[in-house]
Amino acid sequence: MLSERQVAVLCDIGQSIAFADDMHGEIEKLIVEGYVLKDGDIYQLTPKGEKVLEERGAGLNEA
């Protein structure tokens, strides 16, 4: 079960919002659990991460 803080990090990543340095521990956990991918300096949600946001009603605004 993800914490509210982890869900907030997923929202930030999904919206390409920079996050504070103290969130890197949370991000590493999300990567290990398969919610986030890291490609160089870029973080992306996996389908698993996107599903969590959809289920929580925290869908991302699409342009």
**Residue 46 has what pLDDT?**
97
**Residue 63 has what pLDDT?**
37
Residue 46: is it exposed, middle or buried by C-beta count within 10 angstroms (0-12/13-18/19+)? middle
**Residue 37 has what pLDDT?**
96
- The pLDDT tens digits of the residues spanning 18-63 come to 877 888 889 999 999 999 999 998 999 999 999 999 888 755 554 3
The single-letter DSSP state of residue 28 is: H
CB 45 within 8 A of CB 7: no
Using the predicted structure, report yes or no on whether residue 14 has a pLDDT greater than 80: yes
pTM: 0.82
**Residue 1 contacts by C-beta under 8 Å, 6 or more apart in sequence?**
none
**Residue 60 has what pLDDT?**
54
CA–CA separation, 59 and 43 (whole Å): 17
